[in-house]
Amino acid sequence: MIILEHPKQVQAACQSWKTAGEIIALVPTMGCLHDGHLKLVECAKQYATKTVVSIFVNPLQFGPGEDFDNYPRAFADDAEKLKAENCDLIFAPTAESFYPSDFTTRVSVAGVSEGLEGISRPGHFDGVATVVLKLFHATLADVAVFGEKDFQQLRVVQQMVRDLNLGVRIVGHPTVREGDGLALSSRNRYLSPEEREWAQRIAELSFFTREYLSGNAGATVAELTQAVEEFLTRAPLRIDYVRMVSSADLKPAGVEDQVLQISDPRLVLAAWCGKTRLIDNFPLERNR
Ligand code: AMP
């Protein structure tokens, strides 16, 4: 496994692989790797002959007052885990090597990036699209794997790839969860034991919505949203948003629409658990 810092070094290494006929898969991460990330790496290996994992806490996607400075970093541990997964290359740029002082470009994906996280975190998806496009170019990726945990991010990247004819195959991987259903996240380590218990409300939402819809198949978006908000706030969680959207384009459903009439409905939410902001999303279906 090689570890490289500079985009030009990565491009040269990947170019020589491409010339030798290798197929390159990229898994972009911000490090502090957990089993969710490692599942993405396993998945990437099925699509490619060389697997590249980037580890970069991207300053462009953090707003003022967000947790950029405190974001957990654990490079030595990450490298060990990736070696055990037979990753071929870790791309670990510094902010200076990735964004030289005269760097001015921003990639902005209109539409799908505007609601949900785009409202709560203005500029976040410009930062994401910019870093991802740059990572694609540095690694010459044929395939890139993203988690459905960040469902809006997945849709933003897919839109960018379509719009710009990037020719990178985007694979979405289902959210990897702990035994009780909480989505794995590098930010979960911020949670105190008490907050981790509060977060279980989010973990139980998949079960809660399925039960609710099997008893109220005709429930409207407004009714289910209210039920979910009441369920969540039985713990001291502070809701940022709870929305029912269509999975294809993340457009919000009308409040009077029946949830199960929406095409491929999905519940998306963000909530504060103490000082930690957690996001999650669940496809909605009737109990079978
Ligand atoms: P991050 O390091 O949080 O930027 O995440 C890097 C990639 O891993 C993104 O594509 C995330 O969606 C994905 N990811 C993070 N947590 C999970 C999870 N629990 N299950 C599946 N994918 C995840």
Query: What DSSP assignment string belongs to 205-235?
Result: HHHHHHHHHHH-TT-BHHHHHHHHHHHHTTT
State the Cα–Cα distance between residues 175 and 104, nearest whole angstrom. 34
State the Cα–Cα distance between residues 11 and 26, nearest whole angstrom. 13
- pLDDT band at residue 279 using 50, 70 and 90 as cut-offs: very high
What is this structure's pTM?
0.97
Check if 135 has its Cβ closer than 6 Å to any atom of ligand 1: no
Q: What is the pLDDT of residues 203-234, one digit of tens each?
A: 999 999 999 999 999 999 999 999 999 999 99
In the reported structure, the alpha carbon of residue 116 is separated from the centroid of ligand 1 by a whole-number distance in angstroms of 18
Task: Give the per-residue pLDDT at 221.
Answer: 98
Percent of the chain whose predicted confidence (pLDDT) is above 70: 99
Task: Tally Cβ neighbours within 10 Å of residue 1.
Answer: 14
| 37 a catalytic residue | yes
Q: Which of 82, 149, 158 has the most ligand 1 atoms within 8 A of CB, as the residue to mutate? A: 149
| CB-based burial label for 86 (10 Å; 0-12, 13-18, 19+) | exposed
- Ligand 1 atom 19 nearest Cα: 184
State the Cα–Cα distance between residues 281 and 174, nearest whole angstrom. 11
Sequence-separated (6 or more) residues with CB below 8 Å from residue 243: 115, 116, 225, 252, 267, 268, 269
Q: Which of 29, 51, 190 has the most ligand 1 atoms within 8 A of CB, as the residue to mutate? A: 29
- pLDDT band at residue 135 using 50, 70 and 90 as cut-offs: very high
CB-based contact 144:171 (threshold 8 Å): yes
In the reported structure, the alpha carbon of residue 173 is separated from the centroid of ligand 1 by a whole-number distance in angstroms of 9
Is the pLDDT confidence value at 148 over 90?
yes
Find the catalytic residue in 6, 34, 37, 137: 37
State the Cα–Cα distance between residues 104 and 107, nearest whole angstrom. 10
- pLDDT band at residue 287 using 50, 70 and 90 as cut-offs: low
Is the pLDDT confidence value at 270 over 70?
yes
Mean pLDDT of the chain: 97
Half-sphere exposure of 136 (CA within 13 A, CB side): 22
Residue type, 175: T
User: φ and ψ at 176, to 5 degrees?
Assistant: -95, 130
Mean pLDDT of 164-180: 97
Check if 51 has its Cβ closer than 6 Å to any atom of ligand 1: no
CB-based contact 101:148 (threshold 8 Å): no
Percent of the chain whose predicted confidence (pLDDT) is above 90: 99
Task: Give the per-residue pLDDT at 285.
Answer: 83
Q: What is the pLDDT of residues 48-101, one digit of tens each?
A: 999 999 999 999 999 999 999 999 999 999 999 999 999 999 999 999 999 999
In the reported structure, the alpha carbon of residue 30 is separated from the centroid of ligand 1 by a whole-number distance in angstroms of 9
- Helices and strands per DSSP (H, E), number in the chain: 10, 9
In the reported structure, the alpha carbon of residue 147 is separated from the centroid of ligand 1 by a whole-number distance in angstroms of 5
Is the pLDDT confidence value at 288 over 60?
no
